[in-house]
Chain A
Amino acid sequence: MILVLFAIVVWVLGWWLNSRLASGPYADTRLVRFLAPFIFGVTIIVIWELLVRGLEVSLVILPAPSVIAVRFANSLPILWEDFVQTIIKGAFSGYIIGCFAAFLMAIAVDRWDFLRLGLLPVGNFVAALPIVGTAPILVMWFGFDWHSKAAVVVVMVFFPMLVNTVAGLREATAMQRDLMETYAATYWQSFLKLRLPAAMPFIFNGLKISTTLALIGAIVAEFFGSPTLGMGFRISTSVGQLSLDMVWAEIVVAALAGTAFYGLVAMIEKAVTFWHPSQRG
């Protein structure tokens, strides 16, 4: 019971600290912008730990953060293998193939009006569908190994990427197009020098959305069949064995991989679209 009371104290303390930071003179500094969410996160984890211990919550319902951390540290080789199988082989290769294919298709769609009129509504429609559902079919076609996961990822990232790139390639204003016309520029000159750079913010938007979709696709596809490794496989089998600490360890890996992947793309975006108002800030 003491621990539960202690948890309440920690919550009040954390909140009080953040209130002081938020209303203090340094509220708009970078340090506070980093510190406040950090304090909030630490508070949550400490309360989680205290409540699980204080209320003696069963390990099969919610393991304490310390238990998860220990499991994480002890299973690094397994976690690494799963990471390579699911993220590197499945998600990453599918992401590259899917985004690149969508980019090429977007160029074709942009070039021929008929394709844009016909394919774009279909693409918009498909982008809103539960595409993970294709996983059982693709697993049947491409086998249990990572190839089928990559295929699911390709299908998942293709349409959002297509729609974003096509929108981006149409972003150049009429005046900018007229300027290229007055130079008697060829199609490819105006594509490379005007439309592609102007499309970059949109393309990166598609690339960023696709990072999360790629991870979702690769992990969920493993629920439909996989070799005896991979993050989705580990999650579903560990859930079956009620070793939830392992499940949480995998989720930590997924979270780290997700943020790192997204962060990487966002960093490249910052370097490429430094000129865009949203990046100048």
Chain B
Amino acid sequence: MMSDGFKAIWAVLTVLAVIVVLWYAACIPMNIKGVLTEQERAGAEVQPTSAKDRRDMSEFGLVLNNSFAIPATWEQDRPRLPAPHQVAIEIWETTVQKKITSKRSLIYHGWVTLSATMLGFVIGTGLGILLAVGIVHSRVMDLSVMPWAIVSQTIPIIALAPMIIVVLYSVGIQGIIPKAVISAYLSFFPVVVGMVKGLRSPDAMQLDLLRTYSASRSQGFWKLRLPASMPYLFTSLKIGIAASLVGAIVGELPTGAVAGLGARLLAGSYYGQTVQIWSALFAAAILAACLVGLLGLVERTVLKRMGMAQ
């Protein structure tokens, strides 16, 4: 009999395998036109022979007529869709086989983005928690600021990013700070909203209990509200860190920055270096997964210590 955990892992692996197979299959029609042009130049017999006929023909027709070219669709230099192993090799070559200080090292670019993300995230969540504490304790702030914090969640505030970069550049600030500012305000609002919800989560009975002890407001905060808010805090931290990373990446787009994962994406799209785009994308994905996973680990440890999770 299969245990549940084993079954789940088996199911995930199957789904991943299907995705990889579909990916390889998709490479064939996506890349066949480019491959056939290359093969013709190299002197191979290609059906149909005229480039114009080929342009009008469907990808699937071309594949059927030129099945010999299928392996080549997984080995192109600048494919429309690179095959999984091409991306894997690129990532391997630009991480393990390059010096970290090299401009071509993905670890270098990842670090540039990560440092801005982390700086912004720490500032944004710090300020967010402070504002949430203020909102919970001050009726005026609750009434005047909270609605705006909620509305901000419905607005694509990331559209401010290019302007922030340029404005800060024009007053002489560049490098990590402008990107961190974007990361900070993107993580700020989810943390405010989540933390307010968490600090308000104790129910009337729990609050009444503290009142019977005639506990002070600060005792109520440290002994009830803050511990009760932890699950909410971690949920919004995970949203916040993902938003921070997106902010740092988008912050690297407008100025033609030379370093960072966003810059790699943009450069790749300028020069048609698809393998480079995909590897930068995967690096960003791995980074995001690590950050969220790390927070999840901290969450589990903290909540376990507090007796709120098993």
A–B direct touch in complex (beta carbons closer than 8 A): yes
* CB proximity to A under 8 Å, residues B225-268: 238, 242, 245-246, 249-250, 253-254, 261, 265-266, 268
0/1 per residue, B269-289, Cβ < 8 Å to A?
100101001101100110011
Complex CA distance for A58 and B136, rounded to whole angstroms: 37
Stretch at the interface among A99-107, A169-177, A255-263: A255-263
Complex CA distance for A216 and B250, rounded to whole angstroms: 11
Query: A129 touching B284 by the CB < 8 A rule?
Result: yes
B143, B156, B162, B170: the one within 8 Å of A212 (CB): B156
Query: B140 touching A15 by the CB < 8 A rule?
Result: yes
Q: Which residue of chain A is the closest to B285 with respect to CB atoms?
A: A129
Complex CA distance for A219 and B254, rounded to whole angstroms: 13
Query: B162 touching A128 by the CB < 8 A rule?
Result: no
Query: A236 touching B254 by the CB < 8 A rule?
Result: yes
| Minimum C-beta distance from A57 to chain B (A) | 10
A227 within 8 A of B: no
Contacts of B242 in A (CB 8 A): 128-130
0/1 per residue, A212-223, Cβ < 8 Å to B?
100110011001
Contacts of A216 in B (CB 8 A): 156, 158
Number of residues on chain B facing chain A (CB within 8 A)? 58
B213 within 8 A of A: no
Contacts of B170 in A (CB 8 A): 60-61, 242
Contacts of B171 in A (CB 8 A): 61
* CB proximity to B under 8 Å, residues A130-144: 130, 132-137, 139-141
A4 within 8 A of B: no
Take A37-B147, A129-B284, A223-B254 as given contacts and tell me if A239 and B8 are in contact as well, using a CB distance cutoff of 8 Å. Answer: no
Query: A239 touching B254 by the CB < 8 A rule?
Result: yes
Query: A223 touching B162 by the CB < 8 A rule?
Result: yes
0/1 per residue, B284-304, Cβ < 8 Å to A?
110011001000000000000
Take A33-B143, A141-B80 as given contacts and tell me if A117 and B12 are in contact as well, using a CB distance cutoff of 8 Å. Answer: yes
A21 within 8 A of B: yes
Contacts of B12 in A (CB 8 A): 117-118, 121-122
Take A122-B16, A133-B280 as given contacts and tell me if A32 and B143 are in contact as well, using a CB distance cutoff of 8 Å. Answer: yes
| Minimum C-beta distance from A21 to chain B (A) | 7
B167 within 8 A of A: yes
B151, B165, B254, B292: the one within 8 Å of A128 (CB): B292
Query: A251 touching B159 by the CB < 8 A rule?
Result: yes
Take A136-B265, A225-B269 as given contacts and tell me if A220 and B250 are in contact as well, using a CB distance cutoff of 8 Å. Answer: yes
Query: A140 touching B80 by the CB < 8 A rule?
Result: yes
B145 within 8 A of A: yes
Take A18-B144, A19-B140 as given contacts and tell me if A119 and B162 are in contact as well, using a CB distance cutoff of 8 Å. Answer: no
Query: B11 touching A114 by the CB < 8 A rule?
Result: yes
Q: Which residue of chain A is the closest to B113 with respect to CB atoms?
A: A130
A47 within 8 A of B: no
Contacts of A250 in B (CB 8 A): 159
Query: A251 touching B268 by the CB < 8 A rule?
Result: no
Query: B289 touching A125 by the CB < 8 A rule?
Result: yes
Query: B147 touching A117 by the CB < 8 A rule?
Result: no
A23 within 8 A of B: yes
Contacts of B250 in A (CB 8 A): 132, 220, 223
Complex CA distance for A280 and B129, rounded to whole angstroms: 30
Query: B163 touching A244 by the CB < 8 A rule?
Result: yes
B305 within 8 A of A: no
A274 within 8 A of B: no
Q: Which residue of chain B is the closest to A216 with respect to CB atoms?
A: B156
Complex CA distance for A278 and B265, rounded to whole angstroms: 42
Take A36-B143, A128-B238, A224-B269 as given contacts and tell me if A259 and B151 are in contact as well, using a CB distance cutoff of 8 Å. Answer: yes
Take A137-B281, A216-B156, A258-B155 as given contacts and tell me if A40 and B266 are in contact as well, using a CB distance cutoff of 8 Å. Answer: no
Query: B246 touching A136 by the CB < 8 A rule?
Result: no
Complex CA distance for A220 and B161, rounded to whole angstroms: 10
B148 within 8 A of A: yes
| Minimum C-beta distance from A163 to chain B (A) | 13
Q: Which residue of chain B is the closest to A248 with respect to CB atoms?
A: B163
Query: A121 touching B269 by the CB < 8 A rule?
Result: no
Contacts of A23 in B (CB 8 A): 139-140
B7 within 8 A of A: yes
Listed residue (B19, B274, B280, B285) with the most chain A CB atoms within 10 angstroms of its CB: B285
Take A22-B143, A140-B80 as given contacts and tell me if A212 and B153 are in contact as well, using a CB distance cutoff of 8 Å. Answer: yes
| Minimum C-beta distance from A280 to chain B (A) | 18
Query: A129 touching B289 by the CB < 8 A rule?
Result: yes
Complex CA distance for A215 and B152, rounded to whole angstroms: 13
13 contacts between A and B (CB under 8 A): A15-B140, A23-B140, A37-B143, A39-B144, A115-B11, A130-B245, A130-B288, A136-B277, A223-B162, A223-B250, A223-B254, A235-B163, A239-B165
- List residues of B whose CB falls within 8 A of some A CB: 7-8, 11-16, 19, 80, 139-140, 142-148, 151, 153-156, 158-160, 162-163, 165-167, 170-171, 238, 242, 245-246, 249-250, 253-254, 261, 265-266, 268-269, 272, 274, 277-278, 280-281, 284-285, 288-289, 292
| Further pairs besides A23-B139, A23-B140, A37-B144: 6, Cβ < 8 Å | A33-B143, A129-B288, A133-B281, A136-B266, A215-B156, A261-B154
